[in-house]
Structure 1
Amino acid sequence: MNENIYDVIGIGIGPFNLGLAALIEEGTDLNACFLEQEPTFEWHPGMLIDQTDLQVSFLADLVTFANPKSRYTFLNYLHEHGRLLSFYFFKKFNIPRREYNAYCQWVAHNLSNCKFGYQVTDVTYDKSRSCYVVESNGVETLYARHITLGTGSVPFIPPPLEGKTNEDIIHSSDYLYHEKDLKSANTLTVVGSGQSAAEIFYDLLKDQERYDYKLTWYTRSPGFFQLEESSLGQELFSPEYVDYFHSLPYERRQETLGELGGLRNGVQEKTLLKIYELLYHRSVDSKQSPAKIQAMTEVNDVRESEGRYILSCRQWQKEEAFEQPTDKVILSTGYQPHIPDWIEKMRDEFEWESDEEFKVTRDYRLVFKDGRSNHLFSLTNLEHSHGTSATNLALSVKRNQHIVNLLTDEETYPVYRNNIFQQFTDND
């Protein structure tokens, strides 16, 4: 049994906790340990489609917004791998997804406070010692004054289709693992309207003539809309807006999330343009569209029939039900926060805003009823409390600055404000 009490233990190593690990190791004297059950770092490996890019600038790497002089910046990764000049000639702000994954793997490999192959099975609070007890792999016990929860998200399957996924009906997160089998089918159906759905549809559309399959794209949304990427629109990812959003009552925050759909959902302009250009070029030699593309359509059920699948669909605006036969289905239906079982066991120890959403302070601490000074920071399940910033890679660095500063009890990484050109109340 390891009696050493860490200042902080991070559970789960995705980009959020990985960036925190880098800031802590490089800029503090904190004794920290970050645990990940997988053997290596992997960032959405099933969606690292060739020629797809990150949706944010390379400046939104793991550390730059907190410390641009860090050795763990993306630019230094390029420099150490002899790729800096190539990236300059690349002339893009966006990082290829595969390279972002490689960059994160490089950072994880160089950090001494990240440990892979450690599955956390339980976390409890020892009031007598004022620390958390972390059980790992069922055999090792670690102790920490504070915890950061970075367990990320898991695929969301719409309730009507829960329990019906298999090797033919998959979530988009597994797309590359099934790519060969998918493209060997006669009929393919993509469900969803976000960036992942569009990237998968475009990848399938590119190879359609080579493999000769029928292709369908459905979404429940009113249309295939563009992501809001204007500069003023993007200011809703600023710390100032997070301050404003967090100050709203819970019910108003819930309403506001629905109103910010253009920032949270949608497809990048360049992706929609590539899809339309390919569709247009294909139409030159054929009056028939190479694919069926239909919005306002929900998929409510699926059943197997004679070796194929029948989708029960409904065009909700006209209230028309119909069936769609298909061989394969890709559900690009998003993600939901992954909340570990041990959090549920601690449910009565902290305050909740709803049955599934815990109360979180502006600086990302769960609110414990006993007022303890041993914090549990959450890097996931934050949309209800911090709005559009919850899953944004750029703002994750700002979040980590808050956490490090609270842990060190000083302004280790200053959080600068007054960097935007709009205000959200007359009191700003």
Structure 2
Amino acid sequence: MRFIFRPPAAHAAGLLSLPWDEPLEEWQDDRLLEVVHRGISRHVVRFVEVDGKVYALKEIDERLARREYRLLGQLESMGMPAVSVLGVCVERPPVDGVVQDAVLVTRFLDYSMSYRYVFSHGHTAQPTDQLVDAMVELLVRLHLAGLFWGDCSLSNTLFRPDAGSIGAYLVDAETAELHPSLSEGKRWFDIEYAAERVGGELFDLQYGGLLPEDVDPVEIAAELPRRYQALWDELTREELLRPDEQRYRVAERVDRINELGFDVDEIELITTDDGVRLRVHTQVAEAGRHRNQLFVLTGLQVTENQARRLLNDLRSYRGYLEQKEGRPVPETVAGHRWRAEQFDRVMALVPEDLADRLEPAEVFHEILEHRWFLSEQAGKDVGTTAAAKSYITRILPQTPSTLTVLPGADAPGIDPSADAPTG
């Protein structure tokens, strides 16, 4: 057998003792896990926990496994929203004279959910709209990067709560192709195929009684291309500017792109007989201005939406400190104090048996929302600590788990025989 792994190699070392010479579906090992929100896959997929980390293992044709391994690695280096690949095991020995497929290893996307789990466990009040919006944004990011997916669907996507919205991540890249840029024909093949698959998947949910009665799968399928085109046009269209409006119109366009959750990579102004043409090149990677800023100030690694929300609270806390102490507080000092006196103190209130419900940054965002609600009711600011205690007592216990469970644990609504995507 041959193992090919991406660094750091230490992550792969603990996996080497697994029974790689046996068919994946026959593995018996104490490190195997069941995932409560597993989706559906046409391949055998198993999950293992090694050294405190969870990995997804997918048995697949060796040629496709090598190809998907390389492509997922490229997407990760580009900062794209996709599962992170660790390695691939190839040239496995035959079993009863039959050549075995390769096994692709990806890192499990913590706190992520399949679309079925989102609908069946009520993680959001408007699951259909949020899932479609997340899918559209994911497709636009991939297409801006030159990626033709070829198999876009809700089943091949994982979703993760993100400061009141939902983020989407590519899971299955077997049919994907990476190009310098995509033709309009390839883009629209992806869009039309996605609309068809999403419509079918929603009909399947409707048949299972999981779809809200007011949701029409046909309408949602038709809405996906419209939303995609609106976002694509907003990010890529050219504008004709008059000389006297260049400065504010350029700033206005950049602000609009940032509001949509994207960053600007390059701005191009072209002088023509008709005026100045503005071309904005949108950054293809997952937006990261706020995320990077929060990491520098606090050491927290979160998503862009979460970072934006937490930075707002950090700035508010800095203002409170300056008012209380009667002196300016440097941003770096405020960041360290906010982390220790607000974020870490609140997270310490979460009991261990509730730590699997949402990732810490999402819990803190929810507490800030709860604080606003309680303050509105009380007619005064109730404070973060009081809001945290109320949220942890009344709301968090009702939130479904989004992490893995050991085999045999109660996982309502899940078909144990169903395979899961490699997320």
- Same fold? TM cut 0.5: no
The structure carrying a bigger helix percent of its residues is: 2
The two structures have a TM-score, normalised by structure 1, of 0.21
